[in-house]
């Protein structure tokens, strides 16, 4: 007995050593590709180019960001991301619930249908949508053929929301589904035995149980929605400017990396704060699982 225990200790410490070693590539990877870039972003954000071309420490990029036009863009980005997240939740929750309750065959089929588009390239999917929605696109050609009036789909905030919901909905569904899958049926049976109505069971058991899934779904949708630029550019013909577009422009055509970096830092802080707020909801007895931002 003792011998076995001793052996086990040696074994597990050996394992730990190996684990440490195996973690090394990841640590190097994170250091080189996460920490160093983050440091560089800060370097750019807190410096500005003087008249003579030299760099000096400065808050002027952040000061520029407080100008009304940029604040407006930030607010608009948060608003659109929030709307998209709520729609994803409203659409995604029932889908996830139905999936978790269906037979494994149907479940596999639904998962396949949800995930299959994601095997395709992101830009390709956007262009497929454009082909559908354009004024001369498939839907409008069909409408026109039926003698109906054409609908202007693209070029509005609504179109951008549509693009975001389409692209990020699978993240919401899968997050909630993974949690609901673990729901022990005996809990529901017990509630039933104790006389709970279906509505009561849903509100008192299923929803609280799925909170961690909802929260991780929210962050999986909200964070990319705040920062995306491709979706807004294509679905709005460049007429709905989000903070992601503004950042991208600074690193591209406008060639002002310092300002771009400063905006990125502000966005990062805002996202972190909102994630922190969401995490606050998550503590207490339901949330054994900590959120991953």
Partner 1 sequence: MTNTIKKTIAAILVLSTLLCVCACSASDDKTVRVYNWGDYIDDTVIAQFEDETGYKVIYEKFDTNETMYAKIANGNTNYDVLVPSDYMIQRLIAEDMLQKIDFANVPNFANVGDDYKGISYDPNDEYSVPYMWGTLGILYNKTMVDEEVDSWEMLWNEKYKERIFMLDSSRDSICAALSLLGYSINTTDEKELAEAKQKLIDQIPLVGGYLVDDIKDKMIGGEGALCIAWAGDAEYCMSQNKDLEYIIPKEGSNIFFDSMCIPKTAKNKAGAEAFINFMCKPEISAKNAEYIGYSTPIPAARELMGEKGQSKAAYPDVSKYELEIFSDAGDANRLYDQIWTEVLASIDN
Q: Which of 27, 35, 36, 69 binds partner 1 (CB under 8 A)?
A: 69
The answer to whether 240 contacts partner 1 (rule: CB under 8 A) is yes
Q: Which of 7, 9, 13, 18 binds partner 1 (CB under 8 A)?
A: 18
Q: Which of 12, 13, 14, 108 binds partner 1 (CB under 8 A)?
A: 14
Cβ distance to partner 1 smaller for residue 58 or 156: 156
Cβ distance to partner 1 smaller for residue 38 or 69: 69
Give 267-275 contacts, CB < 8 A, sequence gap 24+.
267/74, 267/226, 267/227, 267/243, 270/74, 270/78, 270/226, 271/222, 271/223, 271/226, 271/227, 274/222, 275/219, 275/223
Cβ distance to partner 1 smaller for residue 38 or 106: 38
Q: Which of 13, 37, 238, 276 binds partner 1 (CB under 8 A)?
A: 238
- Number of Cβ within 10 Å of residue 177's Cβ equals 25
Q: Which stretch binds partner 1 (CB under 8 A): 2-10, 155-163, 178-186, 191-199?
A: 155-163
Which residues between 127 and 146 bind partner 1 (CB under 8 A)? 134-136
Q: Which stretch binds partner 1 (CB under 8 A): 72-80, 106-114, 176-184, 218-226?
A: 72-80
Contacts with 205 (C-beta within 8 Å, 6 or more apart), sequence order: 183, 187, 188, 191, 196
Contacts with 146 (C-beta within 8 Å, 6 or more apart), sequence order: none
Contact positions vs partner 1 (CB under 8 A): 14, 18, 21-22, 24-25, 28-29, 69-70, 72-73, 76, 134-136, 155-157, 236-241, 245-246, 249-257
């Amino acid at each position: 007995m003792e011998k076995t225990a001793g052996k086990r200790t040696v074994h597990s410490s050996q394992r730990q050593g190996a684990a440490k070693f195996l973690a090394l590539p990841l640590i190097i990877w994170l250091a080189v590709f996460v920490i160093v870039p983050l440091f560089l972003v800060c370097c750019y954000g807190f410096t500005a180019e003087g008249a003579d071309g030299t760099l000096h420490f400065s808050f002027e990029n952040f000061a520029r960001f407080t100008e009304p036009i940029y604040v407006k863009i930030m607010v608009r980005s948060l608003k659109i991301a929030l709307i998209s997240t709520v729609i994803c939740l409203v659409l995604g929750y029932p889908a996830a619930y139905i999936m978790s309750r269906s037979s494994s065959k149907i479940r596999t089929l639904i998962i396949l249908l949800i995930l299959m588009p994601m095997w395709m390239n992101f830009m390709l999917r956007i262009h497929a949508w454009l082909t559908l929605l354009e004024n001369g696109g498939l839907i409008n050609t069909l409408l026109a053929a039926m003698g109906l009036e054409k609908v202007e789909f693209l070029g509005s905030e609504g179109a951008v929301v549509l693009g975001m919901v389409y692209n990020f909905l699978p993240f919401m569904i899968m997050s909630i589904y993974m949690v609901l899958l673990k729901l022990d049926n005996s809990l529901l049976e017990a509630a039933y035995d104790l006389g709970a109505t279906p509505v009561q069971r849903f509100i008192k058991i299923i929803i609280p149980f799925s909170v961690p899934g909802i929260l991780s779904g929210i962050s999986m949708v909200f964070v990319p929605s705040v920062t995306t630029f491709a979706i807004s550019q294509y679905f709005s013909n460049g007429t709905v400017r989000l903070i992601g577009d503004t950042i991208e422009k600074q690193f591209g055509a406008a060639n002002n990396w310092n300002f771009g970096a400063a905006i990125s830092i502000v966005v990062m802080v805002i996202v972190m704060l909102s994630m922190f707020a969401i995490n606050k909801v998550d503590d207490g007895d339901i949330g054994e699982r900590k959120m991953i931002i």
